[in-house]
Amino acid sequence: MTIFLAGASGLVGSAFARAAARRGHRVVGTVGTYPGTVAGLARQRTLDLRDTSAITAAVLDDFPQVIVNCAAVSAPEQCAADPARAQALNVDLPATLARLAHHVSARCVHLSSEQVFPGTSQTPYAAADPVAPLNLYGRQKLAAERAVHAAAAEFVVTVRAPLLLGNSLGGQRSLHERLLGEWAAGRTPALFTDEFRQPCTAENLAEVMVELCERTDLRGMWHWGGRDVLSRYDLACRVRAHFKLSAAQAPLIAIARAERGAEVAQRPAYLALDTGPLQAKLKTRTLALTEQLDELVVPPPVRAWYLAQPALEKP
Ligand SMILES: NC(=O)c1ccc[n+]([C@@H]2O[C@H](COP(=O)([O-])OP(=O)(O)OC[C@H]3O[C@@H](n4cnc5c(N)ncnc54)[C@H](OP(=O)(O)O)[C@@H]3O)[C@@H](O)[C@H]2O)c1
């Protein structure tokens, strides 16, 4: 089938393009500023996704069976820095894509976030649980969920995803890439010991999304995540151990939320999603953190630094 992929150069988008191509689908993908070629795309379009006329023309030209939206301003601090741009990408764009899906009778696979929940409960959130986002990013993701389902309920399937690990095209986007970048620059990242997340990899999420493109019987809201819930500090320690770096080579500062005062009011403390209902429907399985770490590679920007580190054995 032909799949129109918005945000093909992103962490999830690039993984989705590869996964969908492996399944034999024809993927037409958009990039914004990314200068390279995205693997897996049958056709790569460069366009500004804030330009509704350009998106409409592209979708009508490709006339896809599925529209997949991986474009976003996906970091809460970037949303806060430029709310208007974030509104255009996180809310207006999904609404436009859903309307176009309705127009061409295409399935629409939309990505949302765990950040629609307040993180005050240690029980994994079910899809129907009450939402109460703490930050602008979460409020925009919630507004998008409502907009896409209002525009095309019969065509849309939405997946709320957790913190994502993985290998990005530029090698500077995901958690392990940013940690390695900090260590290579001689800095010491500080991470919360009491803020908990349930990571999964972008590759694993992409497999789920490809299945959802094909499973026309599934619509509505679903949750996905990894098998393990752990603190951000413990996650960073696991990344460091996976890459066989010592505490001297890759130092970390453990901090508690209480040390950061009012800043943490916008950060959910404990986010875990109930993945059971979607697991029961799909062939793709959730991954333990160990399996996820095995997917991670040393990104090109820090390869020289990494190879210069004395170590007994590198993965
Ligand atoms: N990353 C996470 O931890 C995480 C967690 C939960 C949910 N999610 C959700 O998963 C989805 C994908 O996130 P991600 O982390 O893969 O995002 P990402 O890596 O930041 O990628 C964002 C994508 O959007 C494109 N884009 C942004 N502004 C654009 C513009 N004006 N015109 C054209 N393209 C534009 C980027 O293109 P260029 O780079 O080429 O400009 C890139 O392809 C989002 O809906 C996000 O909310 C992410």
**In this structure, what token pair is assigned to residue 86?**
């974030």
Global confidence as pTM: 0.97
| Residue to mutate (ligand 1; options 11, 14, 68; most atoms within 8 A of CB) | 11
pLDDT for res 76: 86
Per-residue pLDDT at 215: 95
| Integer Cα distance of 252 and 242 in angstroms | 15
- Give distance in angstroms: CA of 87 to centre of ligand 1: 13
Question: Which pLDDT band, with edges at 50, 70 and 90, does 281 fall under?
Answer: very high
How far apart CA 49 and CA 62 sit, in angstroms, is 16
Query: What length is written for the chain?
Result: 315
Mean pLDDT computed over every residue of the chain: 96
Tokens found for residue 78: 């970037």
pLDDT above 60 for 156: yes
Please say if the pLDDT value at position 284 is more than 80: yes
Strand-pair partners of 201: 165
Query: DSSP readout, the chain?
Result: -EEEEETTTSHHHHHHHHHHHHTT-EEEEEESS--SPPTT-SEEEE--TT-HHHHHHHHHHH--SEEEE--S---HHHHHH-HHHHHIIIIIHHHHHHHHHHHHT-EEEEEEEGGGS----SSPBPTTSPP--SSHHHHHHHHHHHHHHHHHTTTEEEEEE-SEE---SSS-SSHHHHHHHHHHTT---EEESS-EE--EEHHHHHHHHHHHHH-TT--EEEE---S--EEHHHHHHHHHHHTT--TTTS--EEE-GGGGGGGGGGS-SB--B--HHHHTT-SS----HHHHHHT----GGGHHHHHTS--S---
Task: Judge if 106 and 141 occupy the same domain.
Answer: yes
188 shares a domain with 88: no
Ligand 1 binding pocket (C-beta < 6 A) is 7, 9-13, 31-34, 48-50, 70-72, 74, 89, 111, 113, 141, 161, 163-164, 173
One domain, residues 126 and 188: no
User: What confidence tens digit (pLDDT) does each residue in 221-272 have?
Assistant: 999 999 999 999 999 999 999 999 999 999 999 999 999 888 888 999 999 9
Q: Are residues 235 and 103 in the same domain?
A: no
Q: Are residues 180 and 128 in the same domain?
A: no
> What total number of domains does the chain contain?
2
Cα–Cα distances in Å, from 268 out to 58, 115, 280? Answer: 37, 7, 27
Both tokens of 96, joined, read 């436009």
Name the closest-CA residue to atom 2, ligand 1. Answer: 164
Q: Which of 20-29, 88-97, 234-243, 263-272 has the lowest mean pLDDT?
A: 263-272
- Tell me whether residue 314 is in a domain: no
Residue 25 counted as domain residue: yes
Whether residues 187 and 115 share a domain: the answer is: no
Same domain, 190 and 207: no
Q: Which atom of ligand 1 is nearest to the CA of 50?
A: 31
Average pLDDT in the 8-28 region?
98
Same domain, 46 and 70: yes
106 — pLDDT class (breaks 50, 70, 90): very high
Residues 10 and 134 in one domain: yes
- Indicate which CATH number applies to the domain containing 149: 3.40.50.720
Its domain, for residue 160, covers: 2-169+199-223
Q: Output the CA 75–ligand 1 centroid distance in Å.
A: 9
How close is the Cα of 292 to the center of ligand 1, in Å?
20
- The pLDDT of residue 112 is 98
Res 312 pLDDT > 60: no
Determine the Cα–Cα distance for residues 143 and 26; give it in Å rounded to an integer. Answer: 30
* Per-residue pLDDT at 278 exceeds 70: yes
Same domain, yes or no: 16 and 75: yes
* pLDDT value, residue 314: 53
Atom 5 of ligand 1, residue of closest alpha carbon: 163
Q: Ligand 1 centre from 90 Cα, in Å? A: 9
The answer on pLDDT for 125 being more than 90 is: yes
7 and 149 part of one domain:
yes
Same domain, 159 and 144: yes
Residue nearest ligand 1's atom 7 by CA: 113
Pocket test for ligand 1, best of 27, 38, 70 (most atoms within 8 A of CB): 70
Q: Indicate the pairing of strand 230-231 with strand 196-197.
A: antiparallel
pLDDT over 90 (residue 6): yes
Which residue has its alpha carbon closest to ligand 1 atom 34?
32
